[in-house]
Amino acid sequence: MPIKILIIDDSALVRTILTEIIQAQPDMEVVGTAPDPLIAREKIKALNPDVLTLDVEMPKMDGLVFLEKLMRLRPMPVIMVSSLTERSSSVTLHALEMGAFDFITKPKMDIRNSLNEYADELVNKIRAAARRGCRPMKTGQNVLRAVEAKKEAGPAGSPARWFSTTEKIVAVGASTGGTEALKEFLTALPPDCPGVLVTQHMPPTFTGTFARRLDTLCEISVKEAEQGERVLPGHAYIAPGDRHLLLGKSGANYVVELSDAAPCNRHRPSVDVLFRSVAKNAGGNAAGVIMTGMGSDGADGLLEMRQAGGRTFAQDEESCVVFGMPKEAISRGGVDEVVPLHDIARRLMLWLSAQGKRAFRI
């Protein structure tokens, strides 16, 4: 049976473009469209779709309000369709916390010039959503309470171990499902961990909002990466949505480098670009983590990190929204440990603690 999709968007043009893309797929069928959530509610009951595409900003009922009701009363896979505004990016990230499967940006008015690339992204996310099903609702408040409880609890009861934070670096790559995975990983890191460089496949305007959101939840500082800044312990740097993030060196210090080079594996920022720069400039002083995501970006770069002496981790299949990127990295021989999402930070810190002589909590 084909995957049944209901398109919810107040723009007739967007509904038409999405319908044309989906209807061209032999394994998909648009069973209906709706210009607002109130009409969509009735069509969901009548048509029983497998996947929804949901506009972030709509009349009559806000997309978040509709999503909250949907996840409470009739949970199902939802792909948010978002414009490239700061408000939309904030709403979209909130939607992912509430259980939306993933998001895609609204098609541009000149979409005909890049229709194939946009179509591939859309239909692949729909297929992944149909396979994976609905994700449980999460809230930033739950994470915030966990962070506050960890701060109040103080250092763990086991003795502190020691490592040299100034010589270590952590590189992380993620794609589909990565926003929530990164949140769980980064909130588990102690404030004296090594510097962390993160490439998450995400469009411009989203990465700044994403970094600021994480910064309010984490014990470490999180920010969007800037050219030439020093990579400091206790800080995470998120790749800007339209630039490659690389690790550079200035004397004995690690620094951020940003590049406008062509996309790699159809992505900019690319995980492979980050991992390769870390393999080159940090070698055995680095750890690499590849998380949930579609495709193979990062698999070759993680192998280069391992060959350069770094320690490499992959998120396991059970905890991934999409197992594509970790699976490829594992199959190519680039992974030392396959770890559930909830345990990646702990395993990483245990490895780092054995490498040097500076204290940190584990």
Integer Cα distance of 87 and 110 in angstroms: 23
pLDDT at 163: 36
Mean pLDDT of the chain: 88
Please state the rounded mean pLDDT for residues 147-166.
40
Confirm if 82 and 91 have CB atoms less than 8 A apart: yes
Name the residues annotated as catalytic.
175, 201, 297
Per-residue pLDDT for 154 more than 70? Answer: no
The total of other beta-carbon atoms located within 10 Å of residue 216's CB is 11
CA dihedral 266, 321, 274, 165 (to 10 degrees): 170
DSSP bridge pairs for 287: 170, 311
Per-residue pLDDT for 321 more than 80? Answer: yes
What are the start and end residues of each CATH 3.40.50.2300 domain in the chain?
3-132
Please state the rounded mean pLDDT for residues 296-318.
97
Can you list the positions of beta strands (E) in 26-95?
A: 28-34, 51-55, 78-82
pLDDT at 124: 94
Please state the rounded mean pLDDT for residues 107-133.
82
- DSSP letter (8 states) at residue 114: G
Residues 6+ apart with CB under 8 A from 198: 171, 172, 173, 174, 182, 186, 236, 237, 238, 239, 245
What are the start and end residues of each CATH 3.40.50.180 domain in the chain?
155-360
Whether the ω angle into residue 269 lies within 30 degrees of 0, i.e. cis, is: yes
Per-residue pLDDT for 100 more than 50? Answer: yes
The total of other beta-carbon atoms located within 10 Å of residue 144's CB is 14
Residues 6+ apart with CB under 8 A from 351: 287, 311
pLDDT at 225: 98
Per-residue pLDDT for 110 more than 80? Answer: no
Model confidence pLDDT, tens digit, residues 127-147? 999 998 766 554 444 444 444
Q: Does 1.10.10.10 match the CATH number of domain 155-360?
A: no
Per-residue pLDDT for 236 more than 90? Answer: yes
Residues in the chain: 362
Percent of the chain beyond pLDDT 90?
A: 76
Q: 338: part of which helix (H) or strand (E)?
A: strand 337-339
pLDDT at 135: 60
pLDDT at 149: 43
Helices (H) and strands (E) in the chain, counts: 12, 16
Q: How far is CA 103 from CA 81, 91, 317, in A?
A: 6, 11, 21
pLDDT at 165: 37
- Write the secondary structure of 265-325 as one string of H (helix), E (strand) and C (coil): CCECCCHHHHHHHHHHHCHHHEEEEECCCCCCCCHHHHHHHHHCCCEEEEECCCCCCCCHH
Q: How far is CA 178 from CA 76, 132, 201, 217, 218, in A?
A: 19, 15, 8, 16, 16
Please state the rounded mean pLDDT for residues 113-131.
88
pLDDT at 114: 66
Model confidence pLDDT, tens digit, residues 22-80? 999 999 999 999 999 999 999 999 999 999 999 988 877 788 899 999 999 999 999 99
Integer Cα distance of 228 and 242 in angstroms: 17
Model confidence pLDDT, tens digit, residues 178-193? 999 999 999 999 999 9
CATH of 3-132, one of 3.30.1360.120, 3.40.50.2300, 2.30.110.10, 3.30.420.140: 3.40.50.2300
Tokens 């790749």 found at: 239
Query: Strand pairing of 235-238 and 3-8?
Result: unpaired
